[in-house]
Amino acid sequence: MRDYELIVIISPEVPEEEVPANIDKIKELITSKGGSITQVDRWGKRRLAYSVKHFKEGNYVLTKFQTEQAATAELEANLRISEKILRHMLVRLGD
């Protein structure tokens, strides 16, 4: 198992009360493949450095977790096709 850090920007069109449900979907994607969540940190709505899909702000969420390397490809594919996710960045931590 390797350590990963995932930063997701959720669209500002998603109502504030639905943001936790979207975070839960991401957590479920990770845990369904045998991963374990170590930390979830909601940064809240922040201004973007540049427009992304014509939006100037988004809800930032940082998730730290452990999983097998093979599971990350499917996770990223699911994040890529989600209309509610503006951007994501997955980084492997450590060695």
| CATH code (residue 63) | 3.30.70.60
- pLDDT tens, 20-60? 999 999 999 999 988 899 999 999 999 999 998 899 999 99
The pLDDT of residue 33:
85
- pLDDT tens, 60-84? 999 999 999 888 999 999 999 999 9
Query: What is the domain extent for residue 34?
Result: 2-92
Per cent of the chain over pLDDT 90 is 73
- Total domain count, the chain: 1
**CA 42/CA 58 separation, integer angstroms:** 12
The pLDDT of residue 40:
94
The pLDDT of residue 94:
78
